[in-house]
Structure 1
């Protein structure tokens, strides 16, 4: 992931985290969502499909 993609990913990641907290999701649910997101980021870094959402 180049720096632009990483910056965009981090922005979307933080927005999603904020939205889940405002919706009142439990910490375990939030953790499960973000484990999946981090897994996708780790295992599919060249895939631009996710970065352009």
Structure 2
């Protein structure tokens, strides 16, 4: 499960970066960034409790 969360976080960060530098997608960029940070934090929290 941890690997999946990191994969999702990386994909969301990549999409955020593409949106920020290529398409200027407005608020979607910030939503993707927040989702990536939440996924990363969930992975860190779950790893710490194992």
* Structure number having the greater helix percentage: 2
TM-score where L is the length of structure 2: 0.49
TM-score where L is the length of structure 1: 0.47
